């Protein structure tokens, strides 16, 4: 199984400002590949597991539930991790409120499609650390809740 880490931005002038999405992708790809290397997966060699960071405005970080993101014809399983970016009044590395395309209630109608989690962004000093923490927690939740790829359940009980 191949691993891909992608980035999608719903914030004006944010992507790759004071952080490198390529560097984050490289770090996370190694970590996810290490998790998958310890699993016995059948008939998934030609599948891609893609984790997509979506930078936006939301009440809390979210990770998509297993029932979404399967593209069988393309052999892709995609997990979306919603990363809310705080405003600069909350943390020095935040964004201006007018950079957000949506307001915090944007995902309220869709909340049942996601697992939520908490990250104390005020204890992090830069965008890279915040994004890495959110992505790692989202990836961990995906594996501990379990995900299905081509009818095969992938579940990891403990991730360090």
How do residues 43-63 score in pLDDT, each as one tens digit?
899 999 999 999 999 999 999
Backbone torsion region of residue 113, taken as left when φ is above 0, otherwise alpha when ψ lies between -120 and 50, otherwise beta:
alpha
The residue written with tokens 């930078």 in the block is: 55
For residues 148 and 49, the answer to whether their CB atoms sit within 8 Å is no
* Averaged confidence pLDDT in the chain: 93
In a domain, 160, yes or no: no
Res 160: pLDDT: 62
In a domain, 105, yes or no: yes
CA distances from 2 to 22, 50, 63, 78 (A): 17, 8, 20, 12
- Which one, of 98, 112, 101, 93, lies nearest residue 19 by Cα? 93
Backbone torsion region of residue 31, taken as left when φ is above 0, otherwise alpha when ψ lies between -120 and 50, otherwise beta:
alpha
Q: Quote the number of domains for the chain.
A: 1
In a domain, 92, yes or no: yes
State the Cα–Cα distance between residues 137 and 38, nearest whole angstrom.
19
Report whether pLDDT(73) > 90. Answer: no
Res 87: pLDDT: 96
- Domain coverage including residue 79: 2-154
């Amino acid at each position: 199984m191949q691993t891909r880490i992608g980035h999608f931005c719903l914030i004006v002038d944010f992507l790759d400002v004071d952080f490198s999405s390529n560097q984050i992708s490289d770090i996370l790809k190694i970590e996810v590949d290490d998790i998958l290397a310890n699993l016995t997966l059948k008939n998934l060699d030609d599948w891609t597991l893609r984790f997509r960071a979506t930078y936006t405005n939301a009440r809390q970080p979210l990770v998509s539930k297993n029932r979404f993101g399967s593209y069988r014809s393309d052999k892709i399983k995609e997990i979306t991790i919603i990363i809310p970016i705080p405003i600069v009044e909350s943390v020095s590395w935040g964004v201006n409120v007018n950079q957000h395309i949506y307001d915090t209630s944007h995902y309220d109608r869709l909340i049942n499609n996601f697992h939520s989690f908490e990250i104390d962004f005020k204890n992090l000093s830069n965008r890279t650390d915040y994004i890495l923490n959110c992505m790692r927690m989202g990836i961990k939740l995906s594996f501990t809740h379990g995900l299905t790829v081509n009818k095969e359940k992938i579940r990891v009980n403990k991730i360090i």
